[in-house]
Structure 1
Amino acid sequence: MRALEVLVVVGVLVLAGSVLARRLRLPPPLVLLALGTVVGFVPGIGGVEMPPDVVLFLFLPALLYWESLTISLRQIRADLRAISLASIGLVLATAGTVAVVAHALGLSWPMAFVLGAVLAPTDATAVSTVAGLLPRRARTILRAESLINDGTALVIFGVAVGVAVGTLDVGPAGIAWRLVGSYAGGIAVGLVLALLVVEVRRRLHDTRLENVMSVLTPFLAYLPAELIHASGVVAVVTCGLTLTQIASRVISARARVQSAGFWTLTTFLLNGSLFVLVGLELHAVVEGRTAAELWTGVAATLWVALTVVVTRLAWGNTMPYVVRALDRRPQQRLRRVGFRGRLPGQWAGFRGAVSLAAALAVPTTTSAGGPLEGRDLVLLVTFGVIVVLLVVQGLTLPAVIRFSRLQQDPAEEEERLLAEREMTRAGAEALEGRAAELGVPEAVVERVRESYETRIRQQHLEQVLADGRVIDPDHRAAKQRVLAEAAVESRLRLALLADKRETVVRLRDEHTIDDAVMRRVMAQLDAEEVRLLGVEADD
């Protein structure tokens, strides 16, 4: 019963917080965290403790998988160096600087590095909520960094915890080998599983079974990688990126539509739930602590949060110049970004539930059976840094983006128009052959041909207007009028769909048709509406 109560409370808070965030025009993670914190102190609801394994082995694979399916592999390849430096080099640098500050604040070196590893990675969940505000290149770099850096941080975390509890003795060379092995093993597992998934899905001809396989895929990638002490994070991301390249020719259209709906809703709920649960966790984090301990934690939190932010800013404003000095190729000069353009990505360094889950996973005792000194401070500082960064950076990020004066990538819209033109042209060119193959009457072929020709004319007008080739105001107005008429026609068709739906529902209410019949007809109407409205963007 307790679990059901928590589930209902979290669901209600996700719904209310998401609505409130839109009304107040605030970052959803910040609003959800605040609601969770407030509700966590309500008698009978507080005291929720989030099991670390739930985040690391249930939430994380699912979220990483969907992110990897909706990110641009081409853009990752183009900016692989920047992404690799951020997801590996910056994580190591952050862990080191945080460890130095934490040691100065009183933690032992092993526990200081535990805190550094916990706070080193950015949070993919928090980053995904603001990535849509950025142009394509900046958005991809930020998302890709947050996908991969968890793998680096969790390797460092495992080593630091082992040293802290006295079960491991390893130096810098050992850590480096563990990182290499973790990444290599994760990549191998991800590639092998992606190929196996493709072969299995070739043989599945039921939409539901295809999507059962889709749901299982991230966990099938994560689990074996972790069992062989490789990176489950890297395995899931590798598997997802591989499937984006080869599975589009294997997965059926119905399965893709169903899968997209499932994963979009699921990841939305998981994202929101994580921030609510972090807020609810505050009660357990501060319970039983004296005022002196809390003030010590607050002071340490501010110092560590400042260290995290300064390290990211310093890295982002020194490493590009190092790269420029070493790489003078003309094509690299074209990709250079100034201080303003780099600033949003540097400022969006949120920490989230993965950091808190890692802090909660720190053992309470050493291998000798004694208490692990510093664990409470690590947990308190981790929670504090998550809150501080979400509040400070979350509230100021829109202003930072405006200051950066980033321009949206025009190539994205140009590529969309190109794809639609080529797709329509391919259909028109294949019309005669397909009609002959299927034995379609000429009258039907003519109707389809007319629809293709109409669409080709519309696409040509869209391209001409987008290119700015029409200078004469009268010609431009005439072309815009044609497109406006097409848009009005689409609105008319959409309006008529509402009348169709009302009729179908009335027939069901009158018991003239069965509910099953109504669902099938409504599915057809929904498909037509999606065709008229178009598909929503991923970001």
Structure 2
Amino acid sequence: MEGEGLFNDVTALTLYQVTVYSAVHGSLSLPATLGRLAYSTVLALAAGLGIGWITGQLLDRLPTASARAGLSLLAPFAAYVPAAAAHSSGVLAVLATALYLSHTRAYTDDATSRVTGRAFWGVIELLVICATFGLVGLELTSVIRAVGHQAGRLVGYAALICLIVIVVRVLWLAPLAALTRRRARPRPAGEQVPASWRDSLVLSWAGMRGVVTVATALALPHLTAANTPFPGRDQIIFVAVIVVLVTLIVQGTSLPWLITWLRLRVDPAAESAADRHAATIALDAAEARLRERRHQLDTETADLAAQSFYAALADTFPEDEDVSDTQRIQHHKHVRALEVDLLHAAREAVVDARNHHIIDPDAADRLIHRLDLRSLTTS
């Protein structure tokens, strides 16, 4: 659903921008619209990939995790602004930048940068969602006054649109899921395909509208190129807000009931098995690295480092109270240095398995996050 939502949003927003451009300039023809769409797509991809490359070069040169987190916040704006200024799709440019960085810099930063960035973007996402719906509340009061007596008719339009978006989603996803299930080729680890019509129905019903719908409505310009009011702007915002509220409330609150009625259950064993698979790859890589370095180390240091690394996955840490303070400090330095090396080997193996679709991506991300947290304690 995450992948589907990502590409649905970008496709819809690109088409939306082309349509708004045509409305602003007072002309809408199929050849012109298709040409505008091609122009917007190509230019946005070029801008996004270019900004992605520049961002990657800068990230390699910044000395601190906070500076890299700050640059990651500026990168989307750096991609969006020039693309939008050239009347292409700023959203598509941002997506191209993000995909370029995710493929070329996946886990190349240090553990501090990854942990800091994860927390940083969690806060940013929450603030953006809150700000968007706050803007809706501020805008809605004037919109309601503007639509006036049209409100009843617009509610009817909104109800019809809600029915259309729900039915179209069911008619699209149900046969698509059926075709996907019939593919004979082996599927990569972690590829989640609806196993039955029940899964497809839940997936179809989970198409709630939210922040993207609201943002696109609010982004409509107030004036056209002829300096006249944009046609139907208040009515569009009014209908969009109702569609969002209806789908969030009706579909959102009824989704747990639908899952129960269809007797669907989440299999906790599947997630545990994926985590164990990822952990096994990490442990095998760390043990291989330890075997390579054993001839350079005394047995005690190697054993302590191995135990310490296993603790990163078992939430325990070995204790040794029989050595002197001097020996403890020396052992601590050797153990930590070796553990850093083991963590690095394990992380590389998990990332490689993730990139080659050998393990579930979510399980890989969870394990790498745990390894990163452990790496912070070794620094």
Q: Same fold (TM over 0.5)?
A: yes
Q: Which residue of 1 aligns with 2:101?
A: 243
For residue 151 of structure 1, what is the amino acid of its counterpart? V
Q: How many residue pairs end up in the alignment?
A: 320
From 14, 27, 35, give the equivalent of 1:168.
Answer: 27
Cα distance between partner residues in 2 of 1:184 and 1:221: 14
In structure 2, the CA distance between the partners of 1:264 and 1:425, relative to structure 1 (3 Å rule), is same
- Aligned counterpart in structure 1 of residue 252 of structure 2, from 375, 378, 394: 394
Deviation at 1:396, TM superposition (A): 0.9
**1:219 pairs with 69, 77, 96, which one?**
77
1:304 deviation in Å? 2.1
Find 1:293's aligned residue among 144, 150, 172: 150
Deviations 1:277-336 (A, max 9, x none): 33443322213553x322222222222222222222222235556x57xx9752399957
- CA shift in 2, pair 1:414/1:224, >3 Å: farther
1:374, 1:194 → 2: CA distance?
37
CA contact (8 A) 2:129 2:211 kept: no
Separation in 2, partners of 1:227, 1:195: 20
2:160: which partner in 1? 303
Q: Verify: 1:346 aligned to 2:204, yes or no.
A: yes
Q: Secondary structure at the match of 1:349?
A: coil
RMSD: 3.8
- The answer for the alignment partner of 1:422 in structure 2 is 281
User: Retained in 1: the 8 A contact 2:52–2:98?
Assistant: yes
Q: Does 1:315 align with 2:172?
A: yes
- Of the three residues 184, 191, 196, the one matched with 1:330 is 184
Shift of 1:218: 1.8
State percent identity of aligned pairs: 30
Distance 1:194 1:362, change over 3 A: closer
Among 79, 87, 90, the residue aligned to 1:232: 90
Supply the AA of the counterpart residue of 2:172. W
CA deviations 1:109-134 (Å, max 9, x no partner) are xxxxxxxxxxxxxxxxxxxxxxxxxx
CA distance in 2, matches of 1:450, 1:358: 53
Match of 1:143?
2
Using the alignment, how far apart are the partners of 1:296 and 1:233 within structure 2?
Answer: 33
**Matched residue type, 1:227:** A
Gaps of 5+ in 2: 320-369
Residues 302 and 385 of structure 1 are in contact (CA less than 8 Å); yes or no, is this contact kept in structure 2?
yes
Give the C-alpha shift of residue 193 in structure 1: 2.8
Alignment partners' CA distance in 1, 2:23 and 2:91: 24
Give distance in 2, aligned partners of 1:345 and 1:445. Answer: 50
Query: In 2, are the aligned partners of 1:359 and 1:382 still within 8 Å (CA)?
Result: yes
Deviation at 1:337, TM superposition (A): 4.3
Please name the residue that 1:358 is paired with: 216
Distance in 2, matches of 1:270 and 1:394, equals 21
Pairs within 5 Å for 1:437-452? 442-451=299-308
Superposed CA offset, 1:493-523 (max 9, x none): 9xxxxxxxxxxxxxxxxxxxxxxxxxxxxxx
Q: Are residues 233 and 401 of structure 1, via their aligned partners in 2, closer, same or farther at CA, if it must alter by over 3 Å?
A: farther
Partner Cα separation in structure 2 for residue 316 and residue 427 of structure 1: 42
Aligned partners of 1:352 and 1:386 also within 8 Å: yes
Q: Which amino acid aligns with 1:240?
A: A
Shift, 1:364, TM fit: 4.4
One-letter amino acid of the structure 2 residue matched with residue 254 of structure 1: T
Contact 1:159/1:168 (<8 A) preserved:
no
Q: Taking structure 1 as the reference length, what is the TM-score of the superposition?
A: 0.51
Distance between the aligned counterparts of 1:336 and 1:379, measured in 2? 34
Q: 1:328 to 1:383 in 2, by over 3 A?
A: closer
2:140 equivalent to 1:282: yes
On the 8 A contact 1:194/1:240 being kept in 2, the answer is: yes
Residues 1:177 and 1:311: Cα distance change in structure 2 (over 3 Å): same
- Report deviation, 1:257: 1.4
**1:408–1:242: structure 2 CA closer, same or farther, 3 Å change rule?**
farther
Higher relative contact order (CA 8 A, sep 6+): 1
Q: 1:341 to 1:225 in 2, by over 3 A?
A: same
The CA deviation at 1:368 is 4.6
1:133-188 deviations in Å (ceiling 9; x for gaps): xxxxxxxxx222322233332333334334444533421x3333333443333333
Please report how far the alpha carbon of residue 243 of structure 1 lies from its aligned counterpart in structure 2 after TM superposition.
2.2
Is this contact kept in 1: 2:146–2:234, CA < 8 A?
no
C-alpha separation in 2, matches of 1:257 and 1:335: 30
Q: Aligned letter for 2:118?
A: A
> Quick one: which of 174, 184, 206 aligns to 2:64?
206
Distance verdict in 2 for CA 1:531–1:398, change over 3 Å:
same
Deviation per CA, 1:409-445: give whole Å up to 9, x if none.
86654342222223223223323654666xx555333
| SS of match in other structure, 1:287 | helix
Q: 1:231 to 1:145 in 2, by over 3 A?
A: farther
1:271 counterpart letter in structure 2 = I
